Amino acid sequence: MSAFVDADTRVVVQGITGGEGQFHTEQMIEYGTNVVAGAVPGKGGQEVAGVPVYDTVARAVREEDADASVVFVPPAFAADALYEALDTPLNLVVAITEGIPTQDMTGVKRRLSETDTSLIGPNCPGVITPGEAKLGILPGNIFSPGKVGLVSRSGTLTYQIVNSMTQRGVGQSTAVGIGGDPIIGTSFVDTLDRFEADTDTEAVVMCGEIGGEDEERAAQHIAESMDTPVVGFIAGRTAPPGKRMGHAGAIVSGGGAGTAASKIDALENAGVTVGDTPAEVVKSVEALL
């Protein structure tokens, strides 16, 4: 069982003929991902890395029996690409694109709520089940198969913690970068539910950051609905109020909400061990296994 993707996942790459789309398609194929099609308006009939390209996602899904897509489309056109994907029976859409206007994502989020599709991102590194499949830009060489699920708003932090786990012999069941934008598809709570239901996941690492209240909502969910143990990390402890740090969603407006302290308190009150450093996170995970 896998939380999101496995070796049988059949992937369409939207924007496959662009520089990033082509490069990462080749990387995904090299990793073992089952990329079955590309979709780019007006480019139907071409091939990229041996993969057939179709004019529409709908035709790619129909012809190649695809069940997931990865979006490498420039921000000005990404919302249209997401609408197109959501109009098909795809189970999963992973939006890598950074810089999609918030207003555009508001409409996408509304459309998403009317479907059974899961959307990861935007502005995210994607999702990987080590040894089986990766959808996105995650560096596959640092991941190793195992029993620890990881969910994070920060791609760089994901890589740091995963690399440390792998070096210490702690493998991962699935790692998900949900993205750091104010409006995203899959939340911490959504991903935690997936890990709770995943028989291959025996512990979870949740990496949050300042801004918003998603981590506080996740803490409440952990306390009420999870048996799988969770280890946490919150980035941005020294960030000054009112100054955005990195992601568009990583800003603290004041009044206590969205601060590192409030998130750490909420997680600890939910029984989550919160590491002060990534190294402490890995040690806490080792103690659970």
Q: What is the pLDDT of residue 235?
A: 85
**Token pair for residue 151?**
């969910």
Q: Of 54-68, 168-182, 207-221, 232-246, where does mean pLDDT reach its minimum?
A: 232-246
Is 211's pLDDT higher than 90? Answer: no
Is 23's pLDDT higher than 90? Answer: yes
**Residue 154: which pLDDT band, with cuts at 50, 70 and 90?**
confident
Q: Which residues pair with 69 in a beta bridge?
A: 12, 93
Is 112's pLDDT higher than 80? Answer: yes
**Residue 253: which pLDDT band, with cuts at 50, 70 and 90?**
very low
- Is residue 122 within 8 Å of 105, Cβ to Cβ? yes
**Helix (H, G, I), strand (E, B), or coil: what is residue 104?**
helix
* Annotated catalytic residue within 10, 153, 247, 263: 247
Q: Is 247 known to be catalytic?
A: yes
* Model pTM above 0.85: yes
Q: Which residues pair with 204 in a beta bridge?
A: 149, 230
Closest CA to 86 of 52, 126, 114: 114
Cα 229 from Cα 289, distance rounded (Å): 10
Q: Cis link prior to 122 (omega < 30° from 0)?
A: yes
Closest CA to 4 of 170, 168, 178: 178
Looking at this protein, which amino acid is placed at residue 34?
N
Structural domains in the chain, CATH included, are 1-123 (3.40.50.720), 139-289 (3.40.50.261)
